[in-house]
Amino acid sequence: MTDRARRRFLLAAAVLLALLCAALFLSPLAGSVWIGPGEFLRNLLGPGDDVSLSIILKSRIPRTLLAVFAGAGLAVSGAVLQSLLKNPLADPFTLGIASGGALGAALVILFVPVSSFLGIGALQAAAMA
């Protein structure tokens, strides 16, 4: 990797990291109840409003973290799929993986009563299989 390519890569990584940090800070502010940035920081750093603190800690921050982890998982699985098949155009739709998951879910919806085992529903297990 040349020095110029390395600098471009580091610049892109820094910009994307800054955007991720901004999204992590701004995402918990959005919702049906408006919580301003000052109120958000006040609730996190010190004693704040119980209702706002409950909304932030029990709903918005878990939602934000789940979105980050889901996006990271999808990115890694896509990169693994492309590198495993040595095809930069490989994705679950062109390979039929998404269609197979939909078929498994449809079969469970049609033929299996509602059930779960260890918190995993039959619908999710069939889609993964």
Q: By three-state DSSP, how is residue 120 classified? A: strand
> Radius of gyration (Cα) for the chain, nearest Å?
21
- Tens-digit pLDDT profile for residues 69-99: 999 999 998 999 999 999 888 888 888 888 9
| Cβ contact 52:35 at 8 Å | yes
Question: DSSP label at 121?
Answer: E
- Tens-digit pLDDT profile for residues 25-49: 899 888 888 888 888 888 888 777 7
CA-based nearest residue to 60, from 35, 28, 33? 28
**pTM of the full structure:** 0.71
